[in-house]
A and B are shown apart, each in its own frame.
Chain A
Amino acid sequence: MGTSPRLPSPMPVAPPALGWATGSGAERSWLSFSMEEDEFFGEKTFQHCCAEFIRHSQQIGDGWEWRTLKDSSEGYMCKTHFQIKPETLMSHSGASACVQTCLPIEEALELPLDDSEVTETTTGSQVIKYEYHVLYSCSYQVPVLYFRASFLDGRPLALKDIWERIHECYKTRLLQEPWDTITQQEHPILGQPFFVLHPCKTDEFMTPVLKNSQKINRSVNYITSWLSVVGPVVGLNLPLSYARAASEDE
């Protein structure tokens, strides 16, 4: 078909700024813990915050773990959990819309059969497996939340199923900003389809949080703060003890 193209003449470029971790990683306060002066939240800081986060998760049995990419220093944080949903969704007026409709397994098994809120007989419940992955985006220099959900037989949930399970309170906000919506994308490490909350606005809401914590001289774990904001939108809740642990670190 084609002849091989002429390469464009090389353009002069800016002085080098290597983009991946090679440093010795000496411990410093997390704010300056990055390889480049202009990187506010570099990959090393990300990994450090995740390590602190996972440490607390292990203390309370919250199930988060770190996975490393083979032969590399890159990795991500992940958690799998199962939720039971009654076959029929509660459909009252808006008031009950924000009531938790998903129950962890242990609580669901104790649910009395004549629960007055259920308007039809529950013919069967569905167990849904949720996987949450926290990865670092070197383009945006922020963490990104990837997730997927499937039934126990492996059938994945479609975007509209995921959408239905999001709290009403979050739906309006998500619909307003097209680049804040949940889209299906390829997981950068696994190469499989996952749903993603777009990271381009993360900087916008995290900066005030961090600025304020500096002002009141209280340390925060970036990952803890960030996940407490984006997680609940997709059904991922963080116990409050994470906040206490974060302010105790360093």
Chain B
Amino acid sequence: MTDDKDVLRDVWFGRIPTCFTLYQDEITEREAEPYYLLLPRVSYLTLVTDKVKKHFQKVMRQEDISEIWFEYEGTPLKWHYPIGLLFDLLASSSALPWNITVHFKSFPEKDLLHCPSKDAIEAHFMSCVKEADALKHKSQVINEMQKKDHKQLWMGLQNDRFDQFWAINRKLMEYPAEENGFRYIPFRIYQKIIKFLCSKGCEKEGALSMLKSYFIF
């Protein structure tokens, strides 16, 4: 893992320049200027857009504001997908900046999960980490960690602290020397129609041929 530190840093610090514009039908007291932000690829929309929310709420009345949600070219953006994934899936072929529309009304109940608080994002993130560890280590590593380690993992992501995050994550990325690898490699494949397949991986050659089979449609 230490050999790959450069790659890990590149992945962690990946950013997407984004322009947030308020949906035209939202009721405002004054003109709402667009808001520009560099979004971290590894994070989640609702975790990193407090400033966006504040910016637009400044020109709106309290009674016209309910749960914030984001949309790109008519597609509601699932906050529980990592930002980099959303961009790669929906907007990678378009010119930068990524243009996202901000809504405060008409939450699309059938498409999006609610995000009532930062705790919901933490719960979702930890749930994903836990599920991955079920495949990698039969949940042994994650379950043997203390609550404070789980907290540190989350805080590392929330506060964009690479070292803080990886101090814990490296334990989740290790396997016993005699084992030669994880029990199973967890991964998810997302297709353009926003449907995903979750599967256990296998050894290198098997993984490659399996990935190939997924791309023959």
Interface residues of A (CB under 8 A from B): 1-2, 5-6, 8-20, 138-140, 155-156, 158-159, 178-179, 183-186, 188, 191-193, 198, 200
Contact = CB atoms under 8 A, between A and B. Distances in A.
B200 interface: yes
A15 B14 CA distance: 34
Contacts of A178: 123
B180 A139 contact: no
B123 A14 contact: no
A139 B110 CA distance: 26
A139 B131 contact: yes
A130 to B, nearest CB: 16
Interface in B59-89: 78, 80
Given A183-B123, A186-B80, A19 B200 contact: yes
B206 A18 contact: yes
Contacts of A156: 109-110
Nearest to A181: B123
B182 interface: yes
Contacts of B42: none
A153 B199 CA distance: 37
B10 A13 contact: no
Nearest 10 Cβ contacts at the A-B interface: A13-B181, A19-B200, A16-B202, A8-B4, A14-B181, A16-B203, A16-B206, A13-B203, A139-B131, A139-B134
Interface in B92-130: 96, 109-114, 116, 120, 123-124, 127, 130
Contacts of B78: 186
B51 interface: no
Interface stretch (B20-28, B29-37, B160-168, B183-191): B183-191
Contact of B198 (A5, A138, A200): A138
Interface residues of B, number: 49
Contacts of B185: 13
Given A17-B184, A17-B200, A19-B200, A192 B110 contact: yes
A11 B14 contact: no
22 contacts: A6-B7, A8-B4, A9-B3, A9-B4, A12-B181, A14-B180, A14-B181, A14-B203, A17-B184, A17-B200, A18-B206, A19-B201, A20-B199, A138-B198, A139-B131, A139-B132, A140-B131, A140-B134, A185-B113, A186-B78, A193-B109, A193-B114
B204 A19 contact: no
A50 B138 CA distance: 25
Contacts of A5: 7, 10-11
A9 B194 CA distance: 30
B144 interface: no
A158 B204 contact: no
Contacts of A198: 127
Given A1-B96, A19-B184, A192 B203 contact: no
Contacts of A19: 184, 199-202
B141 interface: no
A13 B180 contact: yes
A193 B110 contact: yes
Contacts of A13: 180-182, 185, 202-204
A10 B204 contact: yes
B180 A12 contact: yes
A149 to B, nearest CB: 12
Given A200-B130, A200-B134, A15 B7 contact: no
B158 interface: no
Contacts of B139: 200
B209 to A, nearest CB: 10
Nearest to B180: A12
